[in-house]
Amino acid sequence: MRPSLQLKMGQQLTMTPQLQQAIRLLQLSSLELHQEIQEALDSNPLLDAEDESLNHEKSEQSIEDVLGETEGQNKTTDDDTDWAQEEINTTEALQTETISEEMSTDTTWDDYMSAAPASSGPAYEGEDTVYQGETTDNIQDHLRWQLNLSTFTEQDLAIATAIIDGVDEKGFLRLTAEDIVEAIDIEDVEIEEVEAVLKRIQLFDPVGVACRGLQECLSVQLKQFSNDTPWKFEAIDVIDNYIDLLANRDYRTLLRKTKLKEPDLKDILELIQQLNPNPASVVIKDEIDYVIPDVTVVKKKGRWLVELNPNSMPKLKINEQYASLSKTSKNTSDTQFVRSHLQEAKWFIKSLESRNDTLLKVSNCIVQQQQGFFEYGPEAMKPMVLNDVAEMVDMHESTISRVTTQKYMHTPRGIFELKYFFSSHVSTENGGECSSTAIRALIRKLVAAENQAKPLSDSKIAEILADQGIQVARRTIAKYRESLNIPPSNQRKRLV
């Protein structure tokens, strides 16, 4: 076979730098986007924010300072200069768009969404909550602070220090008295001495800390109540001798063994419920992330409208003063420096605009499809999957996945991740469809209204839903109930 030359014509998609940047920005949450924008502002002198507070570092730079960066780069060897010029030429060859063309391309960046990995995150099933929080000292620091304000002998101080070191994050002591004796380097320390110091520590704030289990923790707290507290001693008897029956909510056996009447046991349980089973919780606060809504939904003149949250992303602009240097500068290196950064700034702004347009388009589609939710709540949620929205907005399904992950919507009913509005469907008796989110809402409503003395079983909930025309298997009810963190019926039973 003789070698020959053939000319073929074809089309091929190319992942240009601006498309890669647009894909990456689309996946970022609002907090991550703020960090990305700040890094771009710090590294690119041609990029400015309309909020002057974000330009604090750049405000200290003069035009001479900016161009001085290129002058410093020019003080290199001839080889380095040739290499730098070669890199500039290569960059110019790759960047087919000119400054005046901004970001023109034959293909849209949505065509490339399936090429980049979609970020994954748990679907938001929570209530209307904005997560905010702070972290305080740990429980050991809190106890040591009180120890320094107390009077202890040198030996008791060593014992108390060993006890505090053995307290875990929940406030419980995970060491035995024998372990503490071995831990301290003091001779002739008796277990009785350790027990005596331990009792003092257990009365530190919060009361019940450094106990060796839940039973001892609750008992210590009860014993600090005044002796004239109604049902104090009966509650101590229940905790010390029948805590297993109490944990299993076996009230019938508990009534028989304690020989109490049901109204009396209710009063005792009310007293026990005032105790804190996790004493360290009043000291240690979980560190919680902030959630900044990306879009806001409001009802105006009978219509539900979607608006971008202006606080979720600052507006950017080109620094015209620096940009004009590309025309006035006589130094080739300075001109090239300004032009390359000007191109990067325009790409970045265009990518942000594309992100906003996509986010707004998808959010409008969600609101249009889920108007029942905004009017009547989760029980009116319609079944909807990513492909439904992808077809409506003419985008790839992976694009919808990216734009709905870690993006939040502020509604009159609370703040929800966009993924919350997507759910599978369950067939109804009349041939229709019901959203799994709506079924979860119905389960939550039924459990909230149930008789706590006779809680609804999963089978009973399935029967109630069947009476409403929604056919759901018992195991499906159990799965949805567990996703809502609702315990089974035997654990929900209570007298008070």
Query: Contact at 8 Å (CB) between 163 and 181?
Result: no
Q: 95 by DSSP, 3-state: which?
A: coil
Q: Are 147 and 102 within one domain?
A: no
Q: What is the pLDDT of residue 233?
A: 94
Q: Which residues pair with 425 in a beta bridge?
A: 435
Structural domain ending residue among the three candidates 233, 251, 282 = 282
Q: Are 271 and 307 within one domain?
A: no
The alpha carbon dihedral of 224, 227, 229, 231 has a sign of positive
Q: What is the pLDDT of residue 486?
A: 92
Q: What is the C-alpha to C-alpha distance for residues 56 and 47, in angstroms, rounded to an integer? A: 13
Asked, for residue 258, whether it belongs to a domain, the answer is yes
Q: Are 145 and 270 within one domain?
A: yes
Q: What is the pLDDT of residue 229?
A: 93
Q: Are 150 and 273 within one domain?
A: yes
For 448-452, the CB contacts below 8 A with 24+ separation are 450/492, 452/492, 452/493, 452/494, 452/495
Q: 132 by DSSP, 3-state: which?
A: coil
Q: What is the C-alpha to C-alpha distance for residues 461 and 474, in angstroms, rounded to an integer? A: 8
Structural domain ending residue among the three candidates 371, 388, 423 = 423
Q: What is the pLDDT of residue 232?
A: 94
- What is the residue-wise DSSP string for 273-299? TTS-S-GGGGT----------SEEEEE
Start-to-end C-alpha separation, the chain: 92
Q: What is the pLDDT of residue 342?
A: 87
Which residues of the chain fall below pLDDT 70? 1, 11-15, 51-137, 285-289, 427-432, 495-496
Q: Are 270 and 313 within one domain?
A: no
- Which among 257, 355, 450, 357 has a CA at the least distance from the CA of 37? 355
Q: What is the pLDDT of residue 56?
A: 53
Burial label for 379, CB within 10 Å (0-12, 13-18, 19+), is middle
17-27 and 332-369 helices cross at what angle (nearest 10)? 40
Q: What is the C-alpha to C-alpha distance for residues 46 and 322, in angstroms, rounded to an integer? A: 6
Give the CATH number, domain containing residue 438.
Answer: 1.10.10.60
Q: Are 256 and 157 within one domain?
A: yes
* Domain of residue 149, residue span: 139-282
Q: Are 155 and 244 within one domain?
A: yes
Asked, for residue 248, whether it belongs to a domain, the answer is yes
Element at 32 (helix H, strand E) = helix 30-43
Q: Which residue has the tokens 């290129």?
A: 70
Q: What is the pLDDT of residue 374?
A: 92
Q: What is the pLDDT of residue 21?
A: 78
Structural domain ending residue among the three candidates 392, 423, 454 = 423
pTM score: 0.57
E runs forming strands in 5-60: 47-49
Q: Are 411 and 316 within one domain?
A: yes
- Strands 408-411, 295-300: parallel, antiparallel or unpaired by DSSP? parallel
Q: What is the pLDDT of residue 13?
A: 57
Q: Which residues pair with 306 in a beta bridge?
A: 297
Distances (CA, A) of 125 to 92, 180, 214, 302: 48, 45, 31, 28
Q: Are 158 and 261 within one domain?
A: yes
Q: What is the pLDDT of residue 114?
A: 35
Q: Which residues pair with 305 in a beta bridge?
A: 298
Q: What is the C-alpha to C-alpha distance for residues 42 and 333, in angstroms, rounded to an integer? A: 21
E runs forming strands in 197-333: 295-300, 303-308, 316-318
Q: What is the C-alpha to C-alpha distance for residues 95 and 339, in angstroms, rounded to an integer? A: 12
Q: What is the pLDDT of residue 119?
A: 35
Q: What is the pLDDT of residue 406?
A: 87
- Which among 130, 139, 92 has a CA at the least distance from the CA of 283? 139
Q: How many domains does the chain have?
A: 3
Other beta carbons within 10 Å of 36: 16
Record the tokens describing residue 85, joined without a space: 């010029």
Q: Are 299 and 416 within one domain?
A: yes
Separation of CA 13 from chain center: 36
Distances (CA, A) of 306 to 102, 199, 360, 390, 471: 28, 60, 7, 18, 35
Q: Are 395 and 326 within one domain?
A: yes
